[in-house]
């Protein structure tokens, strides 16, 4: 059983990606017999290129994606360089970790509620500062350059990248390395950038690629904050894929390949940038430059970090306010009354959508957890870590844009006869939940002192007994956190639920995104709140489980 | 633990104790450590040498979890039985490390109960065995305690009793006293070696502390280069 776990995990994780890509390539070149395409041709690409505004869509995807990734990366790196080990760093770390669990769509709604012309920021400033008694006639949400969308993506990628940096820092001996540099006369930022970053970067490179791929192909955030005339490529693709005219599927497939190239191009540009920066960095290192824009960099990073976090938190607060708001006329800073009316009126719908969400998320998360535990336990029993061979594979589903393979995966599901079922949606979610559960569990698991297992087997305990009685309890906290993360990832999935479910399974997230066009703030707020409550509950339970199980055990109770 | 009962004596008694018969361990083909030795019941054989020379690797090999990066040949016999090809949990070889490694999620009593052979059946029999083990090291009444609340010396004593109640046929000690302070060190040495002798256990001790070797009072093999 254990021997099959790695193979099964890889098959469930990579199978849909590979099959999906194959299922996209064939129709892109006109081959899809069920739709009458039985010869290879370039017609789908010709049709794709003739779509109006395609160049703008492409530029938007590439531009917003790269700008958001680069912005988030620079902010996180400079902030860490300037403040690692300090109090501000600890505060931001404590603030940002829970924000990671907030679904992208909810964060985007929050930002929209905050910065829209009639948003909370304008209300707080009006009329005393702006003089406005009516919302100004500005196009902020959905601006043609995708600035709001870039900001929204950046605000959500900053916590992710910071957490990745935090996970990698202990392996770089960062504080001592910087102290050595400081001893040689290097200023704080310069010392960190030359002594720590070169060791840190290789470890966060794959997560950075995942961010770039995500940001260049995002759908839900783009629907909520992005421009519409035309929309970024990925949003238009979803439209074509769901077009009643089935012939559009050929164009959509060609478009999916184009999307794949756009994301690949973005990563390629980033890699070229890496080379350039490494060259400049080496030259600076040899020149022994002991300053790197110290104060302005620190101030800028702190300001950007603080600003984005404040915007994210204020946005979430605005969502909460709207969900309880009675009458709230512009430019009132707060609603006139707070009421439960909206919640009461929509409780049935929210409950139904939450149920569908959990019916998908819970089995998917448990499956991912069991598979991850089986892989890790098998690895421990064999006494070898597969880390270096498997790590890049874990990132494959996170780096290949969802939209490039989900459509093709759907074709495979059709031939299996399970298209549009909950099982199919679950399989699609598993592709994205597995890597996160595995990544969250593997480091704590491998950190368990192997001598506990050795002592136990010397005491005569069989491998199975050691797993159940020793290793699993020792990993309980990590397993619970990994499960909560898995649940949060599943809850937040928009595209897989929509495309693989054929629009038949209304989850909290698909409902919330669908509401965005309507602009009913109270209704959106209810769904966005529920979107946040589910992962929040999961993480609370995850924190509670070890606290209860180990309430009499000092060594395990302290939160690590 | 079906094989915990004494097996009927064969015609010629097999060599008792712990036997290393032509053991050679290599890392990626490079010879690391070799041992040919027989430790009689109740005797302590001390392996001395600087760190990195492969002492702990040898212990890992004897206990049954050699890292796959190493290759080994030769046989290990415990109480006359060839255990070389047995999985670690069937070897009946007890281990003590420099850390007590009490399982942090189990109470002191459960740490001991985990180690008790399955042959001891029944709730009250097992509880009595745990209590007896606790009073043997003057920790009666510590059954329900959280291991994290014990002193260093108490943890070391529980770790010792945990190994002994599992009824091992040999003991492997990996620098077991190196983290204790001086007074405690002498006390634990007496306790460990005394109990091993009384139970007639062959002991292999790995250390770089001459005082450990002296207290053990048995043969010493010095693995230091040039020794």
At B227, the pLDDT band (50, 70, 90 cuts) reads low
More confident residue, A103 or A560: A103
Question: Is pLDDT of A273 > 90?
Answer: yes
Smallest CA–CA separation between B204 and chain A, in Å? 14
Residue A226: predicted pLDDT: 95
Beta strands in B49-162 (DSSP E): 70-78, 81-82, 93-96
CA distances from A188 to A73, A185, A194, A304, B222 (A): 19, 9, 10, 19, 50
Mean pLDDT within B184-194:
94
Whether residue A47 is contained in a domain is answered as no
Tell me the residues of A at the B interface, defined by beta carbons under 8 Å apart. 382-384, 449, 451-452, 454-463, 466, 469-470, 473-474, 476, 549-550, 552-556
Mean pLDDT within B97-106:
94
Mean pLDDT within A271-292:
91
d(CA B167, CA A460): 9
User: Over chain B, what is the mean pLDDT?
Assistant: 90
Residue A59: CB partners within 8 Å, gap ≥ 6? none
CA distances from A375 to A379, A484, B45 (A): 6, 19, 40
Question: Is pLDDT of A28 > 70?
Answer: yes
Q: Which residues partner with A85 through β-bridges?
A: none
At A132, the pLDDT band (50, 70, 90 cuts) reads confident
The answer to which of A167-171, A336-340, B168-172, B217-221 has the lowest mean pLDDT is A167-171
> A451 and B99 in contact by Cβ < 8 A?
yes
Q: Which residue has the tokens 């007890």?
A: B94
> B88 and A458 in contact by Cβ < 8 A?
yes
At B69, the pLDDT band (50, 70, 90 cuts) reads confident
> A460 and B105 in contact by Cβ < 8 A?
no
> A451 and B97 in contact by Cβ < 8 A?
yes
Whether residue A392 is contained in a domain is answered as yes
d(CA A535, CA A492): 9
User: Is there a contact between B136 and B162 (Cβ–Cβ < 8 Å)?
Assistant: no
Residue A11: predicted pLDDT: 93
At B58, the pLDDT band (50, 70, 90 cuts) reads very high
Residue A390: predicted pLDDT: 72
Whether residue A112 is contained in a domain is answered as yes
User: Is there a contact between B13 and B49 (Cβ–Cβ < 8 Å)?
Assistant: no
User: What is the helix (H) or strand (E) element at residue A106, kind and residue range?
Assistant: helix A104-115
d(CA A14, CA A12): 6
pLDDT digits (tens, 9 = 90+) for A33-57: 877 788 888 999 999 999 999 999 9
> A469 and B114 in contact by Cβ < 8 A?
yes
CB neighbourhood size of B26 (10 A): 15
Whether residue A321 is contained in a domain is answered as yes
Residue A91: CB partners within 8 Å, gap ≥ 6? none
The shortest CB-CB distance from B95 to any of A384, A454, A554 is to: A454
d(CA A103, CA A528): 9
A130 phi, psi to nearest 5 deg: -95, -20
Q: Which residue has the tokens 């006369």?
A: A185
Angle, helices A341-382/A5-28, rounded to nearest 10 degrees: 120
User: Is there a contact between A284 and A431 (Cβ–Cβ < 8 Å)?
Assistant: no
Nearest CA in chain A to B61: A454
At B9, the pLDDT band (50, 70, 90 cuts) reads very low
Whether residue A534 is contained in a domain is answered as yes
Beta strands in A355-509 (DSSP E): none
pLDDT digits (tens, 9 = 90+) for A77-119: 999 999 998 899 999 888 888 888 899 999 999 999 999 999 9
Contacts of B179 in chain A (CB under 8 A): none
Smallest CA–CA separation between B227 and chain A, in Å? 30
At A5, the pLDDT band (50, 70, 90 cuts) reads confident
The percentage of chain B sitting over the pLDDT mark of 90, rounded to a whole number, equals 79
Contacts of B71 in chain A (CB under 8 A): none
Whether residue A469 is contained in a domain is answered as yes
The answer to which of A150-154, A530-534, B8-12, B118-122 has the lowest mean pLDDT is B8-12
Tell me the residues of B at the A interface, defined by beta carbons under 8 Å apart. 1, 60, 63-65, 67-68, 87-95, 97, 99, 101, 103-105, 107, 114-115, 117, 146-149, 162-163, 166, 168, 172
Contacts of B70 in chain A (CB under 8 A): none
At B1, the pLDDT band (50, 70, 90 cuts) reads very low
Residue A261: predicted pLDDT: 97
Q: Which residue has the tokens 């906290």?
A: A477
Task: Give the best residue of B71, B88, B130 to mutate against chain A (max A CB count within 10 A).
Answer: B88
Whether residue A463 is contained in a domain is answered as yes
What's the CA angle centered on A241, arms A430 and A257, to 5 degrees?
75
Residue A142 Ramachandran class (φ > 0 left, ψ -120 to 50 alpha, else beta): left
d(CA A525, CA A514): 13
pLDDT digits (tens, 9 = 90+) for A402-449: 999 998 898 888 888 898 999 999 999 999 999 999 999 998 999 999
Residue A93: predicted pLDDT: 87
d(CA A240, CA A251): 7
d(CA A124, CA A171): 45
At A547, the pLDDT band (50, 70, 90 cuts) reads confident
- Domains of chain B by range and CATH? 13-103+167-222 (3.40.50.300)
Residue A2: predicted pLDDT: 81
d(CA A170, CA A347): 45
Domain containing residue A104: 2-25+53-339+346-550
The percentage of chain A sitting over the pLDDT mark of 70, rounded to a whole number, equals 98
The shortest CB-CB distance from A461 to any of B60, B89, B104 is to: B89
The interface predicted TM-score of the complex, written ipTM, equals 0.89
Residue A130: predicted pLDDT: 85
Contacts of B166 in chain A (CB under 8 A): 458-460
Residue A137: CB partners within 8 Å, gap ≥ 6? A117
DSSP A63: H
Domain count across chain A: 1
Q: What would the two tokens of residue A119 be?
A: 């948003």
Q: Give the 3-state DSSP-derived string for A73-119, with helices as H, strands as E and coil as C.
A: HHHHHHHHHHHCCCHHHHHHHHHHHHHCCCCHHHHHHHHHHHHCCCC
Question: Is pLDDT of A160 > 50?
Answer: yes
Residue B175: predicted pLDDT: 92
Mean pLDDT within B27-43:
92
Contacts of A458 in chain B (CB under 8 A): 63, 88-89, 91, 93-95, 163, 166, 168, 172
The shortest CB-CB distance from A553 to any of B87, B91, B105 is to: B105
Tally helices (H) and strands (E) across chain B: 6, 9
The answer to which of A218-227, A363-372, B12-21, B82-91 has the lowest mean pLDDT is B12-21
d(CA A410, CA A413): 5
d(CA A369, CA A374): 8
> B104 and A556 in contact by Cβ < 8 A?
yes
Q: Which residues partner with A101 through β-bridges?
A: none
How far is residue A204 CA from its own chain's centroid?
15
Task: Give the best residue of A381, A383, A384, A455 to mutate against chain B (max B CB count within 10 A).
Answer: A455
d(CA A161, CA A75): 10
> A459 and B91 in contact by Cβ < 8 A?
no
At A382, the pLDDT band (50, 70, 90 cuts) reads confident
Q: What would the two tokens of residue A338 be?
A: 């707070």
Mean pLDDT within B132-150:
95
> B107 and A552 in contact by Cβ < 8 A?
yes
The answer to which of B5-9, B19-23, B39-43 has the lowest mean pLDDT is B5-9
pLDDT digits (tens, 9 = 90+) for B161-172: 999 999 999 999
What's the CA angle centered on A447, arms A443 and A450, to 5 degrees?
135
Question: Is pLDDT of A131 > 90?
Answer: no
CATH number at residue A469: 1.10.3720.10
pLDDT digits (tens, 9 = 90+) for A476-512: 999 999 999 999 999 999 999 999 998 899 999 999 9
Whether residue A367 is contained in a domain is answered as yes
Residue B3: predicted pLDDT: 45
User: Is there a contact between B192 and B157 (Cβ–Cβ < 8 Å)?
Assistant: no
Q: For chains A and B, what is the number of CB pairs under 8 angstroms?
A: 82
């Amino acid at each position: 059983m254990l021997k099959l776990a790695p193979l099964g995990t890889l098959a469930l994780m990579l199978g849909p990606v590979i099959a999906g890509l194959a299922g996209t390539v064939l129709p892109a070149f006109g081959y899809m017999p069920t739709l009458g395409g039985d010869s290879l041709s370039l017609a789908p690409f010709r049709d794709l290129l003739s779509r109006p505004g395609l160049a703008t869509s492409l530029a938007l995807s590439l531009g917003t994606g790269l700008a958001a990734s680069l912005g988030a990366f620079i902010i996180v790196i400079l902030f860490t360089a300037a403040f690692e080990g300090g109090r501000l760093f600890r505060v931001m770390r404590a603030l940002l970790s829970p924000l990671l669990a907030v679904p992208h769509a909810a964060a985007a709604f929050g930002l929209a509620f905050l910065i829209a012309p009639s948003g909370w920021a304008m209300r707080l400033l009006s009329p005393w500062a702006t003089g406005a008694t009516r919302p100004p006639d500005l196009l902020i949400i959905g601006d043609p350059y995708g600035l709001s969308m870039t900001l929204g993506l950046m605000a959500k990628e900053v916590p992710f990248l910071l957490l990745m940096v935090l996970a990698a820092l202990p392996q770089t001996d960062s504080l001592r390395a910087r102290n050595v540099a400081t001893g040689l006369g290097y200023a704080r930022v310069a010392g960190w950038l030359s002594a720590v970053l070169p060791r840190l970067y290789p470890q966060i490179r794959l997560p950075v690629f995942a961010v770039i791929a995500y940001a260049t192909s995002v759908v839900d955030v783009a629907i909520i904050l992005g421009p519409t005339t035309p929309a970024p490529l990925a949003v238009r693709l979803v439209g074509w894929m769901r077009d009643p005219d089935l012939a559009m599927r050929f164009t959509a497939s060609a478009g999916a390949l184009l999307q794949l190239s756009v994301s690949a191009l973005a990563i390629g540009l980033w890699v070229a940038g890496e080379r350039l920066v490494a060259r400049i960095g080496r030259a600076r290192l040899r020149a022994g430059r002991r300053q790197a824009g110290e104060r302005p960099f620190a101030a800028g990073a702190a300001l950007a970090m603080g600003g984005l976090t404040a915007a994210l938190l204020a946005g979430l607060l605005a969502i909460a306010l709207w969900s309880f708001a009675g009458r709230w006329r512009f430019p009132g800073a707060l609603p006139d009354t707070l009421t439960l009316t909206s919640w009461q009126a929509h409780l049935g719908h929210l409950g139904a959508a939450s149920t569908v969400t959990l019916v998908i998320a819970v089995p998917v998360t448990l499956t991912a957890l069991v598979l991850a535990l089986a892989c890790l336990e098998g690895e421990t029993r064999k006494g070898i870590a597969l880390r270096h061979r498997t790590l890049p594979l874990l990132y494959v589903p996170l780096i290949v844009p969802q939209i490039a393979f989900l459509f093709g995966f759907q074709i495979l599901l059709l031939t299996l006869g399970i298209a549009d079922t909950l099982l199919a949606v679950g399989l699609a979610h598993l592709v994205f939940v597995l890597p996160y559960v595995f990544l969250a569990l593997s480091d704590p698991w491998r950190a368990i002192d192997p001598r506990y297992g050795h002592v136990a087997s010397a005491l005569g305990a069989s491998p199975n007994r050691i797993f159940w009685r020793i290793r699993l309890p020792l990993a309980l906290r990590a397993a619970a956190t990994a499960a909560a993360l898995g649940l949060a990832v599943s809850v937040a999935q928009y595209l897989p639920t929509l495309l693989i479910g054929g629009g038949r399974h209304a989850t909290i997230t698909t409902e919330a995104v669908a509401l965005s066009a309507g602009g009913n703030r109270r209704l959106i707020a209810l769904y966005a709140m529920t979107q946040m409550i589910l992962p929040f509950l999961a993480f609370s339970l995850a924190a509670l489980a070890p606290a209860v199980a180990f309430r009499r055990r000092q060594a395990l109770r302290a939160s690590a | 633990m079906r094989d915990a009962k004494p097996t009927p004596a064969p015609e010629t008694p097999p060599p008792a104790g712990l036997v290393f018969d032509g053991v050679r361990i290599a890392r990626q083909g490079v010879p690391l450590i070799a041992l040919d030795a027989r430790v009689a019941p109740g005797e302590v054989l001390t392996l001395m040498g600087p760190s990195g020379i492969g002492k702990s690797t040898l212990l890992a090999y004897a206990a049954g979890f050699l890292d796959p990066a190493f290759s080994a040949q030769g046989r290990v016999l415990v109480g006359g039985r060839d255990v070389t090809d047995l999985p670690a949990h069937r070897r009946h070889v007890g281990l003590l490390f420099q850390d007590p490694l009490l399982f942090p999620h189990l109470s002191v009593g459960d740490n001991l109960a985990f180690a008790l052979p399955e042959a001891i059946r029944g709730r009250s029999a097992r509880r009595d065995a745990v209590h007896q083990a606790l009073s043997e090291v003057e920790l009666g009444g510590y059954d329900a305690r959280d291991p994290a609340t014990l002193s260093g010396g108490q943890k070391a004593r529980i770790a010792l009793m945990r190994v002994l109640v599992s009824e091992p046929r040999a003991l492997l000690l990996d620098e077991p006293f190196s983290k204790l302070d001086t007074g405690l060190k002498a006390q634990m040495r007496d306790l460990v070696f005394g109990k091993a002798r009384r139970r007639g256990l062959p002991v292999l001790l790995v250390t770089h502390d001459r005082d450990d070797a002296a207290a053990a009072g048995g043969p010493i093999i010095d693995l230091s280069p040039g020794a």
